[in-house]
């Protein structure tokens, strides 16, 4: 499969795509597999692709000869720098297909990982998609309790289940709510929700 070096983590905002990608970066086996380094960029809705490409070229020790290089010349320069390297390339928060294409530059020993909310972006350019599932009820409850820092030890389980369901079992939303329970009861929180 010519796209085996391409993978995308897909899921709604707050589900943990970036957290999972960051965990990969911190894994010692992943670091060993990519001795030439891990490059990370976060795009968002309106990225400056020229700047993002320049940053990666500079991180690899490359130079940019043109005064006003184009996206295509920077992409070609980056591809040259990666040709014989083993790097993990992570492009976080991709919103458009064109933006993903700008970073399809990996050499034979590199791997590219994208994160996006839109599964059609990677599919349209032939990149494998790995959906990020929502947390299980038990995982979500555990995370909520952890972020509440012991305050919920005596809380009604049914109320906590209602809270995590209202939050869609999204890790980021659960962490934020858990921190709020240090100042507010779950019942009061539900009333205001």
CA distance 113 to 7: 5
Q: How confident is the model at residue 56 (pLDDT cuts 50, 70, 90)?
A: very high
**Residue 5: what pLDDT?**
57
In this structure, what token pair is assigned to residue 26?
Answer: 């911190």
Q: Which of 141, 106, 153 shows the shortest CA–CA distance to 127?
A: 106
Percent of the chain with pLDDT strictly greater than 90:
45
46 Cβ neighbours under 8 A, 6+ residues apart: none
Place of tokens 């791997």: 111
126 falls in which pLDDT band (50, 70, 90)?
confident
Q: Which two tokens stand for residue 25?
A: 């970066």
Q: Cα–Cα distances in Å, from 159 out to 151, 165, 166?
A: 14, 10, 11
Q: Distance between CA 192 and CA 82 in Å, rounded?
A: 52
**In a 3-state reduction of DSSP, which class is residue 130?**
strand
The model's pLDDT over 96-108, given as tens digits with 9 standing for 90+, comes to 999 999 998 877 8
Which segments of the chain are extended strands (E)?
A: 6-10, 38-42, 88-94, 111-116, 128-131
Looking at the predicted structure, is the pLDDT value of residue 193 above 80?
no
What is the mean pLDDT of the segment spanning 138-152?
88
* pLDDT over 80 at 160, yes or no: yes
DSSP lists the bridge partners of residue 92 as 42
**pLDDT at 3 exceeding the cut of 70:** no
Average pLDDT, the chain: 87
Q: What's the sign of the alpha-carbon dihedral 175, 177, 183, 184? A: negative
Residue 18: is its pLDDT beyond 60?
yes
Selection from 27, 134, 133, 135 nearest residue 90 by Cα: 27
Name the phi and psi angles at 149, rounded to 5.
55, 45
Mean pLDDT of the region 91-120: 90
């Amino acid at each position: 499969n010519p796209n085996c070096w391409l993978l995308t983590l897909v899921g709604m905002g707050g589900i943990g795509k970036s957290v999972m990608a960051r965990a990969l970066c911190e894994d010692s086996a992943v670091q060993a597999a990519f001795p030439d380094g891990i490059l990370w960029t976060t795009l968002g809705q309106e990225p400056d692709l020229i700047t993002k490409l320049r940053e990666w070229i500079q991180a690899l020790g490359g130079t940019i000869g043109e005064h006003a290089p184009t996206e295509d010349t920077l992409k070609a320069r980056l591809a040259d720098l990666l040709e014989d390297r083993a790097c993990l390339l992570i492009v976080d928060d991709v919103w458009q297909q064109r933006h993903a294409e700008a970073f399809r530059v990996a050499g034979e020993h590199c791997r590219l990982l994208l994160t996006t909310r839109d599964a059609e972006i990677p599919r349209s350019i032939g990149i494998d998609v790995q959906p990020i599932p929502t947390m299980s009820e038990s995982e979500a409850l555990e995370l909520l309790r952890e972020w509440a820092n012991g305050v919920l030890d005596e809380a009604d389980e049914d109320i906590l289940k209602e809270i995590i369901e209202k939050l869609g079992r999204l890790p980021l939303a659960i962490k934020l709510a858990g921190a709020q329970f240090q100042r507010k009861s779950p019942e009061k929180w539900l009333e205001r929700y």
